[in-house]
Structure 1
């Protein structure tokens, strides 16, 4: 929620000048924390600290940079002693659908982020592209494996484009240490983050057609039609379950044997998360005669117009973050 102006003219001035940066600050905190819930809390803390210190803001840097500096320090403090938010693929090898039930693991998992909260405004096309790439689910997941200072340095240097001296002042290390931290971070993330040429998706029209076919296949519970839209080496993961699958055959066996829906039991809505297309799935509640939240899926599309990765999030509390309805009516026959 935006800052509430008070009778203090300075507070009104601060709110007017600072509120336009809320979305990019939310994206910044989300990259570091891996949680939209945590990011929104830390942005509120950032604004509170900035408001209290606004009378001492000397203008040596832009207000935007000053706010990002405060947000970075708030995030670094929040990360002290806190478990990072991984994805299942970051914790072990793929599973086999024939080996029994999937394993649930109660750890704080990476959360998807609605584009409406974290993507740059459309007035700057270059900023939109950079914003989209820097909030991709795989990139944010890779960031979670970095120590906090490496993470902050990488984001400030490679995403925000700060000079090494500015980063050093913010993080509290020397310029030489910044360069060392940055190199280590780049080396570590290069093995985890996808290459841009592997994830640049099809055009909007092709993407829409692919999603239409994907949604229709799921609502019909046509497993063959679903997996035909995946690449041969596609990945399927589903926090909070530790088990994940690699390859179309494994995904097909999982959907056929574990997915509780029968034909007509699912309804799907489009979503946009982490600069990527996705769907919200609703499962039929026979007793109530409505469809209730089941999962959110964030899809990674390949240049060939196939799905290379499906992250299925089974935490239905995320529906509220995406401003999705809590029920959908049954379709009239």
Structure 2
């Protein structure tokens, strides 16, 4: 029985459940181990291998998430800051939501890996989260989900209604609507050029009126062009100009790794920035400074000036 072809989609599923890429990989490894041990008991007349694996993965996730706090973004914890000079004090006690590195796995439904959508589903109890993802994202039938969760079709339908209602109460957190991939990438490329030029007015012109800037593990965040621009002025004043970026993908959204100029020459990795684009403008920028996120994306900590020139 070859289980490896299912690994990528299972990692994506466990990421949607846990909000952590590293945890998702561990959960899938446990899923594969349990499946291999139970392979002799698998009954092909009752379910496909894929459905059977999702049942195991769901049980693994529900056990792991029992009693766990949700993984938020800073914007999910309180009101925005209006002080661009506020101390950037990390809160390492909070289990922050992580982005999904697109290059690591070949996953079909990347749109549902977007940060705003995963953050929205994190407010749900784990079983409701599983029902929502299994039914709405992965398109399993109510009967299949009932089998996977060891419950009834009526219970699945009820949980799905409650999950939909809870997510709907959040409105449209950060632009959950389907992105225009080509338009979104071009918008971020324009933003990157302005960022590398330290051109704050140009950056601000590329934002929506209520654009959000947040920086986990720092719990504060900003909303609106004015405060976004004021904070970016602070960044370039304190860290200097002459940055360079490397473009990436994160959960189906455009992203880039930002490298600040290093004192001895070359560039040092500073942040990973993940963008939500609405109507050709930047609606949200989630800026990650967690070394574990850098590791998941395989980002080199330093690049030389020569490497930067070759990349262009």
State if a TM-score over 0.5 links the two structures. yes
Structure 1 unmatched ranges of 5 or more: 1-13, 121-127
* Residues 1:196 and 1:319: Cα distance change in structure 2 (over 3 Å): closer
Equivalences, count: 305
Structure 1 counterpart of 2:162, from 151, 166, 184: 184
8 Å CA contact 1:291, 1:330 repeated in 2: yes
Task: Report the Cα distance in structure 2 between the residues aligned to 1:117 and 1:78, rounded to whole angstroms.
Answer: 23
Whole-angstrom distance in 2 between the partners of 1:196 and 1:319 = 23
Q: CA deviation at 1:258?
A: 4.2
Tell me, yes or no, if structure 1 residue 283 matches structure 2 residue 260.
Answer: yes
SS of the residue corresponding to residue 256 of structure 2 reads strand
SS at match of 1:108: coil
Output the TM-score relative to the length of structure 1.
0.85
5+ residue gaps, structure 2:
none
SS of corresponding position for 1:221: coil
- The answer to whether the 8 Å contact 1:119/1:275 transfers is no
Q: Is the 8 A contact 1:281 1:296 kept in 2?
A: yes
1:149 to 1:297, Cα distance in 2 relative to 1, 3 A: same
Q: Does 1:37 align with 2:22?
A: yes
Q: Identify the residue that residue 63 of structure 1 maps to in structure 2.
A: 49
1:64-105 deviation digits (Å, cap 9, x = unpaired): 111111011100000012222111111111111257324432
Q: Provide the rounded CA distance (Å) in 2 between the counterparts of 1:315 and 1:228.
A: 28
Counterpart in the other structure of 2:298: 323
Q: How does 1:114-263 map to 2 (within 5 A)?
A: 114-120=101-107, 128=108, 131-192=109-170, 194=172, 199-202=177-180, 204=182, 206-258=183-235, 260-263=238-241
1:329 to partner: Cα distance: 0.4
* Equivalent-residue separation in structure 1 for 2:168 and 2:201 (angstroms): 34
2:277 is aligned with 1:301:
yes
2:38 equivalent to 1:53: yes
1:124 matched residue in structure 2: none
SS in structure 2 at match of 1:187: helix
- 1:294/1:196 CA distance change after superposition, 3 Å: closer
Q: CA RMSD in A?
A: 2.1
The alpha-carbon deviation at position 285 of structure 1 amounts to: 2.2
SS of 1:162's equivalent in the other structure is: coil
Q: Secondary structure at the match of 2:164?
A: helix
Matched, 1:100 2:94: no
The structure with higher relative contact order (CA 8 Å, sep 6+) is 2
CA distance in structure 2 between the partners assigned to 1:119 and 1:105 by the alignment: 33
Using a 3 Å threshold, how does the CA distance of structure 1 residues 184 and 54 change in structure 2: closer, same or farther? same
Matched residues in 1 for 2:59 and 2:118: separation? Answer: 19
Deviation for aligned residue 1:321: 1.2
